[in-house]
Structure formats: structure tokens, C-alpha cells
């Protein structure tokens, strides 16, 4: 019995279509945003973009440029060939390994940071130069005949994808970031238009906290919700979550195949077992696979980054105008998913074009331009419009500027750091694909620049990025590099035949379980599907507020209830949906920042209430015109303070006690 023929091609084609459709929606969204057109127009423009895409693609030849030397089109090399690069006795390769070991142990034992960042840069530079020299050598010959495992790998990969999608539906991990993203989606669903002013505190009365609203993903969630008559949260939590997790697994598998890792399905299985046994959202982005995968920035990291790396490899192997069109779609979709794409994708485009310089500078320039033109354009527009973020990096959590903190937040310390740093830094030698080695080396060098003390401060002063520049790490795809390393170790045990890979897979799982953070520790609770990523008691309280009809003023409630309210409905405004989202309105006298800040502290604290603050409380409640106020169920003194301020009991849940203005 054989698996269906062409299954892998069908999977890849469906993946490509999804990216192209989202890229078309992103262009349509930006057009409608500029012309102030509503959701129906966005669907129409998306259809026009897709038709135009189809017509252009049909006219573009899929044949390579005449001045290019094409690498063989086979998938995978002989299993033993993957072990050759690191074992070559070349002084540059030896220096790369030695520098990587010093850097890894420096990270693991928290050595002086200068040793780590200098060692990282030295490793990246020498490793990239080594990979550049190896570009001259002919590609590895095709491998052995297809094994039974490789024959059934599409079925196994689909099984993994379905399994991870199911696991994602069982997780409960509320995120405060949703207060902005899902609220914006719900506004689109409720009003049928794309807002360019704040929807959290009032109906388009204040400027937006994250400006301009470049990402099209949240608008798409709202548009789909309106189309099917559902809440935006239902689409984000119950539809996007399993679909994105499913695509993330298939994207990782596709990237490993594009890098010619063989057998790619073993690398995929090792990585997924390791992520489930012990991963961390910061160290490997592994937590994002099932935790917060509904957010655009995690879809960008898990779904689109592998897709872009695959197509950069494909252009290196077979450069054509049709492939450039695909790279343009990837860059456009990246901007639509997250503003992170504005600065990460150009760096990836540069890294992907460097190996092409060996062959043709025209191809290198075309590769960079096609991939980076939309992100760079979006960045220029953002800068021209005075782009800003709700997170004031210059005044909040300043430790995030520290390069030492950034590095250890990625790699931690101890054995975990040794393995992960070596996997990332030696990927430049271990990846079987020649062009991908150089691309990986350049990306490692870019991340090393972030590790240089003062770079994050400089980026903040110049362009306003600040600590966010650390997301350049996404372009390296730590997860895939761990899989590459695992398969390479398995090839060293080739005398054991297939048993060597099984031993490595088991050892990796045990290692991550012992030294990583288990997935269960990253998930707040496990809950039966299908549920929102909010606590049930919060949703019950919000439902009670909605049934009560229009409130005579904004809602004052603890952060959890405020967030759930903001992403459930746009008709009820929270006084303090999330504290730092108010900072940019501090100087607006109509916003009453000081009073809002005081009220937020009042409802979020469960400690004793000092009656000396009653007058301040009365004044703040009156100035902000609070209509309903909720406190924690056990906060008796605060409840009595609300009664003294003129509020009457409204309703009670196991978690909250709510009062309305008499």
C-alpha cells in the first residue's frame, strides 16, 4: 500500500494559495484604509487583486534566467552527505566550531556578556565565509532511493499537524494583548469599517495607540466574523487557532524539505516532541505553536517565516520571474500579519540574496527587491505618518534594552543554552542546502548585531524600534535548526542504520523534558474545546452587562474583566482596559489620565482599602462618569467604598461583585 501520489504537492500548493490570498487581502485593506472604504469594498478589491495575480502569473514564465546555474531539483541528499560539511578538515570550519562552543558555554554559564556577543559575531562571520566558499563546490549528488519512511512522510506530517491543531483547541492561555487586537476585529465586525482612531476608550474620539494600523490580519478576522455572523473572538479562538497550528507544522516540514534535510519527517518529529516535552515561548518560540497562535505576530513567526525561507531557497535553486512574484506575496503578507515584518523581512531578503551574488548580482537585487519592497514601503509610510506603539519603551521596563537580558531570554542558561546556541550557530555548516547555509549565516550575524550593547537603544533613538528589534531572531527559525542538528547527529550513528535516528529522537525528547519548560507549564489551564481564551466567569459577567443594555458610562473593572469586555463588545468601554495602553493619552486633558490610573489601582488591588482615599475615589468616579464598577468578590471594603460613592448592587458572580450608579 502506498500513500496518495502527489499528496506533498497538494499540501504545498494549498499553503501557497493561502499566502497569496492573504497578500491580496492586505493590499485591498491598505487601499480601503487610504480611501476610507468599508469591508464590502475590501472583499471586492481582494477579488480584483487575485484575478490580476492569476493573469500575471500565467504570463510569467517559470523557466530560470538564462545566466543562472541551476542546482538539482531533487528533494534531499544522501543521509550520510549531511554529515560531511562539519567533518571537513578546513580551518575556517574548525574555527567556526570552536567559536560556537566558546559562545555556547559563555551563554550557559552567564559569562561576561562581552565574551558572548563577540564570540557570536566571530562565529557568524567565519561560518558565513565558510559557507560562501562552499558555494563554489558542486551540489551533493542525489541520495539513495526513497525509503519507506520518506514515502509515508506526507501522511505522518499531516498526522502531526492534525494532532497539534487538536492540542491547541484544548489550551487556555489568556493574553492581555488581545485587548487591542480582538477589540479592533470586533469593531470591524460590528461596524463594517476599518477604524483609524481609537476604539478602546471611546468611539473614534482619541488617536490610536498603535499607529498606523498597518496589519491587515485583525481586520480580516473582523471581516470574516461579520460575513458569518459571529463574534470576532469566535473566529480568532476557534477557527484561526487550529488552522494556524496546522499550517505551522506543515510549514516547518516544508522548510526542512527545502533545506534538503533527510529524512525531514524525523527532524520534524524530533522538534515537535521536544516542543511538547519542554520548550519556551521566548527560547524557541515553541510555546507560540499552541499558545497565542491566534495572534498575528505568532502566525508571522510560525507560518509565514518558514514559507519565506522556503521560497528564498526555491529562487536560489530555480530563479524565475514567477518565483519573484511569490516572494513579493510573502513580503506583503508579512506586513499584513504583523508590523514586525516591516523590519524582519528586509533583513531576511538581504540574507536570501547574498548567496545569489556568487552567481548573478542582478538575481540578487531582484530577490531583495521583490521580497522587501512592500515591507520597506510600509515602513516609510509608517515613519512619515508618525508611527507609534502603545508600549512606551523609553519609560517602561527599561531592562528590555539590555543585550544580556535579550540574549538570555532567548537561550536561558545551563545545558539548554549550550544545545540551542550550538544548533543556531552551527546551522551555517550543518544545513545540507548550500544557499540556505549562507542565508542562515547572515541571519545569525544580524541577530549577533542585536546582542551588541547599545544597539537596541540606538534603534529606538533612530527609528523607534527599541527592544522589538530582537524579533530578528524569527528569521533564523530556531526550531528548524534544532531539527537539522538532530538529524545530523543521527547520521553520525549511521552504522546503526535507522536506529541511530530513533536514539537521537528519544534523547532529544528526554533532554528538552529535563531542561526545558514543559508545554503544560506555559498553558494556564487545559479546557475542553471549544472555548474562548478568556475565563468563563469573566464571560458570564460580560454577558450580564450586555443584557443590561446601554450603560450610563464606562465600565470600571479589574483588568481581566475589562479585557474580556473590550474584545467581546465595542458598545461598552472600559475605564482601564490595560494600564500601559493609556500612557500615550497622558497629556490629553479630556482623557483624565490621573483619575483613570487611580481607579485602575482601586479595582485591581485586593488589599485593605484606606477610607482616607474616599474623597479621591468619589472625585475620580464622577470625573470619568463611571456607569458600572466591579471589584473582586472578596474585596468587601472596596465594595463598601463604592456604595458610599453612590453606587448600588447590580449583580454578583463567583469572581466579581458589580455595582451600577444609582
**Position 238 pLDDT exceeds 90:** yes
Q: Which residues contact 509 (CB under 8 A, 6 or more apart)?
A: 270, 273, 274, 277
Strand boundaries in 421-463, DSSP class E = none
Q: What is the pLDDT of residues 533-544, one digit of tens each?
A: 999 999 999 999
Q: What is residue 83's predicted lDDT score, i.e. its pLDDT?
A: 43
The DSSP bridge partners found for residue 574 are 555
Weakest mean pLDDT among 229-238, 509-518, 651-660: 509-518
How far is the C-alpha of 478 from the C-alpha of 646, rounded, in Å? Answer: 56
CA distance 556 to 574: 6
Identify the pLDDT of residue 281.
42
Report in angstroms the alpha-carbon separations of 273 from 51, 119, 153, 279. Answer: 41, 30, 16, 10
Asked whether the predicted pLDDT for residue 181 surpasses 90, the reply is yes
Beta-carbon contacts of residue 580 (< 8 Å; ≥ 6 apart) = 390, 391, 392, 396
Checking if the pLDDT of 4 tops 80, the result is no
The grid coordinates of residue 223 equal 471581516
Average pLDDT over residues 416-444: 95
SS3 category, 382:
helix
Mean pLDDT of the region 16-27: 97
Q: How confident is the model at residue 521 (pLDDT cuts 50, 70, 90)?
A: low
pLDDT tens for 335-383 read: 999 999 999 999 999 999 999 999 999 999 999 999 999 999 999 999 9
pLDDT at 573: 96
* Residue whose C-alpha cell is 504545498: 12
Q: Looking at residues 588-603, what average pLDDT do you find?
A: 95
pLDDT for position 79 = 36
Query: CB-side exposure of 215: number of CA atoms within 13 Å?
Result: 24
Q: What is the mean pLDDT of the chain?
A: 89
For residue range 621-638, what is the model confidence (pLDDT) as tens digits?
Answer: 999 999 999 999 989 999
* Mean predicted confidence (pLDDT) in 481-486: 92
Q: Kindly tell me if the per-residue pLDDT of 67 is higher than 60.
A: no
Least confident span in 241-245, 304-308, 495-499: 495-499
Among residues 596, 522, 608, 611, the alpha carbon closest in space to that of 559 is found at 596
Question: What is the percentage of the chain residues whose pLDDT exceeds 90?
Answer: 68
The per-residue pLDDT for 64 is 67
**The three grid cell numbers given for residue 657, joined into one nine-digit string:** 461583585
Question: Which set of grid coordinates corresponds to residue 315?
Answer: 529562487
Residue 65 pLDDT level (bands cut at 50, 70, 90): low
Q: What is the arithmetic mean of pLDDT over 534-560?
A: 93
Strand-pair category, 555-556 with 628-632 = parallel
Pairing of strands 525-526, 171-172: antiparallel
Averaged pLDDT, 311-320: 95
pLDDT for 235: 98
d(CA 549, CA 660): 12
User: In which region does residue 652 sit, left (phi positive, over 0), alpha (psi from -120 to 50) or beta (all else)?
Assistant: beta
User: Which H or E element spans position 661?
Assistant: strand 656-661
Sign of CA dihedral 645, 647, 652, 653: negative
Cell output for 216: 491587515
80 pLDDT band (50/70/90 cuts)?
very low
Kindly report the CA angle at 510 between 506 and 511, in degrees rounded to 5? Answer: 115
Q: 322: exposed, middle or buried (C-beta count within 10 Å: 0-12, 13-18, 19+)?
A: middle
Check residue 395 and give its pLDDT: 73
Specify the pLDDT at position 485.
Answer: 92
Residue 489 confidence class, pLDDT cut points 50, 70, 90: confident
Question: Read out DSSP for 40-54?
Answer: HHHHHHHHHHHHHHH
Instruction: Supply the pLDDT for residue 145.
Output: 54
561-577 pLDDT tens trace: 999 999 999 999 999 99
* Enclosing H/E stretch for 440: helix 434-450
Give the pLDDT band (50/70/90) at residue 496. low
Q: What is the DSSP string of 339-365?
A: TTHHHHHHHHHHHHHGGGGGT-HHHHH
The pLDDT of residue 498: 61
Amino acid at each position: 500500500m502506498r500513500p496518495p501520489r502527489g499528496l506533498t504537492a497538494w499540501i504545498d500548493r494549498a499553503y501557497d494559495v493561502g499566502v497569496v490570498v492573504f497578500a491580496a487581502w492586505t493590499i485591498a485593506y491598505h487601499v480601503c484604509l487610504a480611501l476610507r472604504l468599508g469591508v464590502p469594498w475590501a472583499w471586492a478589491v481582494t477579488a480584483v487583486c487575485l484575478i490580476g495575480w492569476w493573469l500575471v502569473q500565467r504570463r510569467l514564465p517559470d523557466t530560470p534566467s538564462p545566466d543562472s546555474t541551476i542546482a538539482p531539483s531533487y528533494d534531499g541528499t544522501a543521509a550520510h552527505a549531511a554529515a560531511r560539511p562539519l567533518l571537513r578538515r578546513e580551518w575556517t570550519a574548525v574555527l567556526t566550531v570552536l567559536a560556537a562552543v566558546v559562545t555556547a558555554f559563555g551563554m550557559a554559564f552567564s559569562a561576561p556578556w562581552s565574551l558572548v556577543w563577540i564570540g557570536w559575531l566571530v562565529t557568524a562571520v567565519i561560518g558565513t565565509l565558510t559557507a560562501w566558499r562552499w558555494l563554489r563546490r558542486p551540489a551533493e549528488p542525489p541520495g539513495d532511493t526513497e525509503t519507506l519512511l520518506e514515502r509515508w512522510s506526507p501522511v505522518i506530517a499531516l498526522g502531526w499537524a492534525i494532532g497539534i491543531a487538536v492540542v491547541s483547541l484544548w489550551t487556555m492561555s489568556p493574553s492581555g494583548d488581545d485587548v487591542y487586537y480582538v477589540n479592533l476585529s470586533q469593531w470591524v465586525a460590528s461596524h463594517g469599517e476599518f477604524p483609524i482612531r481609537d476604539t478602546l476608550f471611546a468611539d473614534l474620539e482619541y488617536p490610536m495607540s498603535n499607529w498606523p494600523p498597518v496589519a491587515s490580519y485583525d481586520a480580516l478576522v473582523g471581516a470574516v466574523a461579520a460575513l458569518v455572523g459571529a463574534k470576532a473572538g469566535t473566529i480568532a479562538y476557534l477557527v484561526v487557532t487550529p488552522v494556524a497550528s496546522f499550517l505551522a507544522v506543515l510549514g516547518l516540514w516544508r522548510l526542512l524539505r527545502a533545506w534538503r534535510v533527510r529524512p525531514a519527517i524525523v527532524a520534524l518529529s524530533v522538534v515537535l516532541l521536544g516542543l511538547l516535552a519542554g520548550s519556551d515561548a521566548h527560547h524557541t518560540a515553541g510555546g507560540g505553536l499552541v499558545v497565542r497562535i491566534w495572534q498575528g505576530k505568532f502566525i508571522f513567526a510560525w507560518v509565514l517565516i518558514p514559507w519565506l525561507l522556503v521560497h528564498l531557497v526555491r529562487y536560489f535553486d530555480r530563479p524565475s520571474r514567477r518565483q519573484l512574484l511569490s516572494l513579493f506575496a510573502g513580503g506583503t503578507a508579512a506586513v499584513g500579519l504583523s508590523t514586525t515584518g516591516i523590519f524582519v523581512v528586509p533583513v531576511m531578503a538581504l540574507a536570501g540574496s547574498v548567496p545569489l551574488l556568487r552567481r548573478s548580482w542582478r538575481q540578487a537585487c531582484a530577490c531583495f527587491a521583490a521580497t522587501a519592497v512592500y515591507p520597506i514601503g510600509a515602513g516609510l509610510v509608517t515613519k512619515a505618518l508618525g508611527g507609534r506603539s502603545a508600549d512606551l519603551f523609553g519609560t517602561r521596563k527599561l531592562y528590555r534594552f539590555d543585550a544580556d537580558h535579550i540574549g538570555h531570554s532567548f537561550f536561558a542558561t545551563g545545558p539548554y543554552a549550550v544545545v540551542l546556541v550550538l544548533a543556531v550557530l552551527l546551522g551555517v555548516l550543518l544545513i545540507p542546502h548550500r544557499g540556505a547555509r549562507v542565508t542562515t549565516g547572515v541571519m545569525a550575524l544580524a541577530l549577533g548585531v542585536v546582542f551588541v550593547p547599545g544597539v537596541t537603544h540606538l534603534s529606538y533613538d533612530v527609528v523607534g524600534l527599541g527592544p522589538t528589534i530582537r524579533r530578528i531572531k524569527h528569521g533564523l527559525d530556531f526550531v528548524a535548526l534544532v531539527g537539522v542538528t538532530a538529524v545530523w547527529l543521527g547520521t553520525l550513528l549511521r552504522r546503526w542504520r535507522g536506529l541511530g535516528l530513533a536514539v537521537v529522537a528519544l534523547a532529544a525528547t528526554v533532554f528538552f523534558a529535563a531542561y526545558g519548560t514543559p508545554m503544560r507549564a506555559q498553558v494556564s489551564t487545559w479546557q475542553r474545546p471549544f472555548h474562548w481564551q478568556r475565563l468563563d466567569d469573566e464571560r458570564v459577567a460580560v454577558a450580564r452587562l450586555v443584557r443590561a443594555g446601554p450603560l450610563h458610562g464606562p465600565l470600571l473593572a479589574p483588568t481581566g474583566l475589562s479585557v474580556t469586555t473590550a474584545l467581546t463588545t465595542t458598545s461598552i468601554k472600559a475605564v482601564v482596559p490595560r494600564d500601559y495602553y493609556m500612557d500615550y493619552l497622558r497629556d490629553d486633558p479630556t482623557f483624565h489620565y490621573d483619575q483613570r490610573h487611580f481607579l485602575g489601582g482601586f479595582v485591581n488591588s485586593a488589599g485593605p482599602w484606606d477610607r482616607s482615599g474616599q474623597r479621591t475615589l468619589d472625585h475620580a468616579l464622577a470625573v470619568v462618569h463611571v456607569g458600572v464598577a466591579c471589584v473582586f468578590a472578596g474585596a468587601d471594603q472596596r465594595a463598601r467604598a463604592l456604595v458610599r460613592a453612590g453606587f448600588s448592587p447590580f449583580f454578583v458572580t463567583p469572581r466579581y461583585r458589580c455595582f451600577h450608579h444609582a
